[in-house]
Amino acid sequence: MSDFSKLAINQFTTLHQWSLPQAIEGYARHGVHAIGIVRDKLHEVGVAAARQSLRDHQMKVTSHCVGGLLTDSDPQRFQANLQDTRRAIDEAAELGAECLVFVAGGLPEGSKDLPAARVRCLEGLADVLPYAAQAGVTLALEPLHPMICAFRSCLSTLSQANDWIEELDAGPELGIVVDVYHVWWDPNLEHELQRAAGRIVSFHVCDWLMNTTDLRLDRGMMGDGVIDIGRIRRLVEATGYAGYREVEIFSERNWWQRDPDEVVSITKARYLSDVLGQP
Amino acid sequence: MSDFSKLAINQFTTLHQWSLPQAIEGYARHGVHAIGIVRDKLHEVGVAAARQSLRDHQMKVTSHCVGGLLTDSDPQRFQANLQDTRRAIDEAAELGAECLVFVAGGLPEGSKDLPAARVRCLEGLADVLPYAAQAGVTLALEPLHPMICAFRSCLSTLSQANDWIEELDAGPELGIVVDVYHVWWDPNLEHELQRAAGRIVSFHVCDWLMNTTDLRLDRGMMGDGVIDIGRIRRLVEATGYAGYREVEIFSERNWWQRDPDEVVSITKARYLSDVLGQP
């Protein structure tokens, strides 16, 4: 009954508690064998040690987080972020990650020109895609909630991600991440998920707390909020997606303060009850 | 040069400082002769006193705020909110308000069924529209930012408001409020504004602060944030809208704590520099 074979945990869920080797060992100890990796955490230990640890614990890498941030109007910073995205692609290839999560970036400092930021990001994406294709890595566009448009992601909706994909006319090196937290409110969710059929390469879950206190770091555990996660999972899977369900919780005030073993235990229980809908 | 004939101030901007008679007197003293009225503030003094005060200060009412909240799954509460919306329509008629702002409502307590909440709201709206038509009042649908979808408004985008208007097939008793705060992030903004041409009955301005600390009560004064207000104003006015630009700032930590005369003075200056774009 308790099948955790498609459960992945993104390392952000235990960000303050565990290093990468600790997270790999910890998740595996709880019977979870897929992880989303945070770049800063990878850099603390290096790719070789990470690969060894992944092998030792039969751990698969679902996502590597993140590349992108290609909205800068300063040419030097724009080029530096392009270069950094290429490094992230290399890392994703070395880790055998299913995708590199691509976060667009927000408005450059002092700018109010959102349409221009979007154009720059799309151009940067076009620039870096052949590199991803050659490395055999899928860049996964993640539309992030409109409330973090200003400082984090000018890619704000599934509709926009679908439009970008149509415009770029790319191969399997370009996909989409669907995170329930970012898209649950979208009146066109069902239609845009259908449009994204075949492009969805990663599916993230957490919950929206009714009393959210922070725009970025106050996500809830599945079941503690108001998202009908089961409905969105079924819609995503109806498009043909058959991959992992990756739990990713940013939670400064709650889950990042808790004992990480407790976090993983509760994650597993809520995965069954609130993602799979088992009684 | 300094033309304030199309500047309106919504009473929310001085919510903690001034009663309705004080706001009417205060705005007029600064040469602003159009006001958006808050229902609670109206109820403190009554419609007769409000009308007298409006006459005394040659003050026009742009918007009456708010009616709606028609998402409840409990039939009694749903009917009570319908009845309350009818009362708000009566008030708007008595005040000669250009519109009654319609806020959809969020998820009912304990519910995760967002599609059902949207269906109920649309049904309630259809129910109350003939009453508005008979009273000669325009219900102005205000799509609110997706970040307050859960507790305040399941009407989240201009696209959705346009869809509802198409579905309802109503006359001039149904319009749209465009508030830059709620729509600035929308990748389809230009297209959806064009779709809304002829239906826009109210245009609200404030700003999005880069370091927003609250999902509802931390809006910025025009010029203090990252919204290109002038661009959105031009897009709205290119659809044929020639009405007021109404300043509406919810600001628990800043503007609601200040001397209200200072708030109005700064509002006027920023209206010229950041809404009209005058040097």
Residue-wise pLDDT for B241-269, tens only, equals 999 999 999 999 999 999 999 999 999 99
Contact B53, B25 (CB under 8 A): yes
Measured between CA atoms, the residue of chain B closest to residue A160 is B187
Kindly state the average pLDDT of the residues B69-95: 98
Strand partners, B261: none
Model confidence at B126, pLDDT cuts 50, 70, 90, reads: very high
By C-alpha distance, which of B88, B54, B62 is closest to B200? B62
Expressed in angstroms, the distance from the first to the final Cα of chain B is 11
Average pLDDT over all residues of chain B: 97
Contact A271, A222 (CB under 8 A): yes
Contact A131, A171 (CB under 8 A): no
Q: How many CB atoms lie within 10 A of CB A198?
A: 12
pLDDT of res. B222? 98
* Dist CA B196 CA B162 (whole Å): 6
Measured between CA atoms, the residue of chain B closest to residue A147 is B147
Chain B interface mutation, best of A185, A189, A191, A217, highest count of B Cβ atoms under 10 Å: A185
- Which of A146, A184, A185 is facing B185, going by the closest CB pair? A146
Q: Which helix (H) or strand (E) holds B77?
A: helix B75-95
Chains A and B form CB pairs within 8 A to the count of 71
pLDDT of res. B1? 59
Contact A62, A244 (CB under 8 A): yes
- Which of B145, B159, B227 is facing A147, going by the closest CB pair? B145
Min Cα distance B147 → chain A (Å) is: 6
Cβ of A116 under 8 Å from any chain B Cβ? no
Q: Where are the beta strands (DSSP E) in chain B?
A: 7-10, 34-38, 60-68, 99-103, 139-141, 174-179, 200-205, 245-247
Cα distances (angstroms) measured from residue A53 to each of A7, A49, A60, A92: 19, 6, 11, 15
Contact B146, A146 (CB under 8 A): yes
Kindly state the average pLDDT of the residues A15-33: 98
DSSP designation for A257:
G
pLDDT of res. B195? 98
Q: Tokens standing for A214?
A: 């922070």
Question: Left if phi > 0, otherwise alpha if psi is -120 to 50, otherwise beta: which for B186?
Answer: beta
Entry pTM: 0.97
- Which of B146, B150, B227 is facing A112, going by the closest CB pair? B227
B226, A111: Cβ pair inside 8 Å? yes
Q: Over the stretch A102-122, which tens digit does the pLDDT of each residue have? A: 999 999 999 999 999 999 999
Q: Where are the beta strands (DSSP E) in B40-97?
A: 60-68
Model confidence at A2, pLDDT cuts 50, 70, 90, reads: confident
Kindly state the average pLDDT of the residues A167-179: 96
Expressed in angstroms, the distance from the first to the final Cα of chain A is 11
pLDDT of res. A86? 98
Kindly state the average pLDDT of the residues B163-187: 97
pLDDT of res. A1? 59
Model confidence at A279, pLDDT cuts 50, 70, 90, reads: confident
Strand, coil or helix: A102: strand
Kindly state the average pLDDT of the residues B146-161: 98
pLDDT of res. B2? 84
